[in-house]
């Protein structure tokens, strides 16, 4: 009998994220591991879709902005003269962490450099996009007592 994904099962999976034109935005080949139904970082709609799947199953889950990474917020985009930006951040893709007066921090990415101006964006790169997670279930098994107590160690999460 094949194990199926349900609460308290250890799950290991890989995935790609594609946009509406089926272009791959992200590919995760190193397995993501989590305990199903526990305080995982798995997006709720994806966790529901995985319920009942077994090892070897492949599913696709489409996420609208409200299900995934939110709407794009223009107020989180700032443009300044490139000369006002430290040299180490003067390339597209550079990340800088800013903190507000309440101590809350957010990562901003350099999204554009044009005509002596540099733009940073605090939105998630997938904000405002309809995206699809294409998921392959690699392992489904009972979680160990240690995994139940301490969670699953890993380097990436499905979020």
Q: Within its chain, how far is the Cα of 110 from the centroid?
A: 19
63 bridge partner residues: 131
The whole-number pLDDT of residue 158 equals 56
Residue 61, SS3?
A: strand
User: What are the structural domain ranges in the chain?
Assistant: 9-68+128-150, 74-121
Checking if the pLDDT of 58 tops 70, the result is yes
Q: Per-residue pLDDT tens for 85-131?
A: 999 999 999 999 988 889 889 999 999 999 999 999 999 999 999 99
Cβ neighbours of residue 47 under 8 Å, at least 6 residues apart? 36, 37, 40
Query: Three-state SS string across 77-111, please?
Result: EEEEEHHHCCHHHCCCCCEEEEECCCCCEEEEEEE
CA angle (40, 16, 93) in 5-degree steps? 90
Over residues 73-79, mean pLDDT: 95
- What token pair was written down for 145? 């007592």
Over residues 131-142, mean pLDDT: 97
Round to whole Å and give the CA distance between 73 and 66. 13
Domain at 9-68+128-150: CATH architecture: Roll (3.10)
Which pTM was predicted?
A: 0.81
Domain at 74-121: CATH architecture: Beta Barrel (2.40)
């Amino acid at each position: 009998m094949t194990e199926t994904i349900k609460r308290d099962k250890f799950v290991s999976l890989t995935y790609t994220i594609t946009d509406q034109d089926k272009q791959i935005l992200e590919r995760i080949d190193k397995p993501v591991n989590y305990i199903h139904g526990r305080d995982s970082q798995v997006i709720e709609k994806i966790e529901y879709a995985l319920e009942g799947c077994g090892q070897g199953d492949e599913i696709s889950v489409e996420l609208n902005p409200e299900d995934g990474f939110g709407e794009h917020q223009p107020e989180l985009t700032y443009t300044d003269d490139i000369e006002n930006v430290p040299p180490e951040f003067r390339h597209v893709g550079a990340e800088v962490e800013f903190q507000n007066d309440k101590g809350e921090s957010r990562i901003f990415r350099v999204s554009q450099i044009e005509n002596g101006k540099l733009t940073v964006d605090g939105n998630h790169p997938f904000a405002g996009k309809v995206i699809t997670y294409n998921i392959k279930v690699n392992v489904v098994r009972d979680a160990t007592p240690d995994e139940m107590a301490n969670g699953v160690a890993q380097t990436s999460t499905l979020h």
